[in-house]
Structure 1
Amino acid sequence: MNIIGVGERLLGAGVLLFVVAMVIGQVLGQPVLLGFVMTGSMQPTLEPGDGFVAIPADLAGSVEEGDIITFRAEEIQGGGLTTHRVVDKTDRGYITRGDNNPFPDQDGDEPPVTDAQIVAVAWQPGGGVVAVPGVGTTVNGVRDSLAWVQQRAASIFGTRSLLGTQGLAYLLLGVSVCAYVIDLVLSGDRDRGRRDISRDTGTSVRLLIGIFAAAVVLSATATMVAPAGPQEFGVVSAEFDSPGSRVIEQGTTESTQYRLGNGGYVPVVTYFDPETDGIAVEPNETVIPARSTVNATLSLTAPPETGYYRKFVVEHRYLLVLPQSTIRSLYHIHPWLPIVVIDALLGGSFYLLGAALVDTGRVRSRSRDSPSQFRRLMARLR
Structure 2
Amino acid sequence: MTAAGLVRRGIAAVAVLAVLLLILGQVLGQPILLGYVATGSMEPAMDAGDGFVAVPSAVTGSPSEGDVVVFDARELHDGGLTTHRVVGETDEGYVTKGDANPFTDQDGGEPPVRDGQIVAVAWQINGEAVTIPHLGTAIMGVHGAMESGYGLFASALGLTTALEGDNLGAMLVALGVALFGVGFLLDHGGPHRRDTTRSTSRENVYAFWGTLALVLFLVVGLATAAMVVPAGTYEYAVVSTESPTDDPQVLAPGGTSELTRAVDNAGYVPVVVVHEAESGGIEADPGWQTVGPRDSGETALSLSAPESTGEYTRHVGEHRYLAVLPPSVLVWLHGVHPLAAIAAVDLVVVGVVVGATLLLFGRGDFRIRTAGNHVPFSTRMRRRLRRWR
Please, what TM-score do these two structures have when normalized by structure 2? 0.64
Q: Offset of 1:259 from its aligned partner? A: 4.5
| Other-structure match for 2:54 | 54
Cα deviations by residue, 1:234-293 (Å, 9 ceiling, x for unpaired) = 311113334568322445444434355679887542223446664222332123567987
Asked if 1:280 corresponds to 2:274, the answer is: no
Aligned counterpart in structure 1 of residue 328 of structure 2, from 322, 325, 330: 325
Contact 2:60–2:121 (8 Å) recurs in 1: yes
CA distance in 2, matches of 1:81, 1:60: 18
1:236 matched to 2:239? The reply is: yes
Structure-to-structure mapping, 1:51-130, within 5 angstroms? 51-130=51-130
Return closer, same or farther for 1:44/1:293 CA change in 2, 3 Å cut-off: farther
2:302 is matched with 299
Cross-structure match for 2:25 = 25
Report if the CA contact (8 A) 2:325-2:345 is conserved: no
Q: CA deviation at 1:342?
A: 5.9
CA contact (8 A) 2:268 2:294 kept: yes
In structure 2, distance between residues paired with 1:28 and 1:304: 37
Q: Distance in 2 between matches of 1:224 and 1:253?
A: 32
Identity value in percent: 43
Q: Are residues 64 and 283 of structure 1, via their aligned partners in 2, closer, same or farther at CA, if it must alter by over 3 Å?
A: same
2:274 corresponds in structure 1 to 271
Question: Letter of the aligned partner of 1:279 in structure 2?
Answer: I
Q: Secondary structure at the match of 1:31?
A: coil
Displacement of 1:112: 2.3
Deviation at 1:83, TM superposition (A): 0.8
Is 2:314 the partner of 1:311? yes
Question: Alignment length, in residue pairs?
Answer: 331
Q: Please give the per-residue CA displacement for 1:320-355, whole angstroms capped at 9, x wherever unaligned.
A: 332113334x25xx811675366367559969x89x
Matched with 1:202 is none
Q: For the Cα contact (< 8 Å) 2:224–2:346, is it kept in 1?
A: no
1:76–1:164 CA distance, 2 compared to 1 (3 A): closer
Deviation at 1:115, TM superposition (A): 1.7
- The alpha carbon displacement at 1:35 in A equals 1.5
Distance in 1 between residues matched to 2:222 and 2:144, nearest whole Å: 20
Bigger shift: residues 163-172 or 306-315: 163-172
Alpha-carbon distance between aligned partners in 1 of 2:337 and 2:55, rounded to the nearest angstrom: 16
CA RMSD of superposed structures (Å): 5.0
Structure 1 segment 184-223 matched on structure 2, within 5 A: none
Q: 1:142 — aligned with what? A: 142
Q: 1:41 Cα shift?
A: 1.0
Which whole-Å CA distance do the structure 1 matches of 2:26 and 2:262 have between them? 27
Aligned to 2:137, what secondary structure does the other structure show?
Answer: helix
What is the deviation of 1:31?
Answer: 1.6
State the partner residue of 1:256: 259
The 8 Å contact of residues 275 and 316 in structure 2, kept in 1 or not, is answered as yes
Partner Cα separation in structure 2 for residue 253 and residue 120 of structure 1: 32
AA at the equivalent of 2:239: V
Unaligned runs of 5+ in 1: 192-204, 364-382
Q: Structure 1 length normalisation: TM-score?
A: 0.65
Change in Cα spacing, 1:124 to 1:263, as seen in structure 2 (3 Å) is farther
Distance in structure 2 (CA, Å) of the matches to 1:347 and 1:22: 25
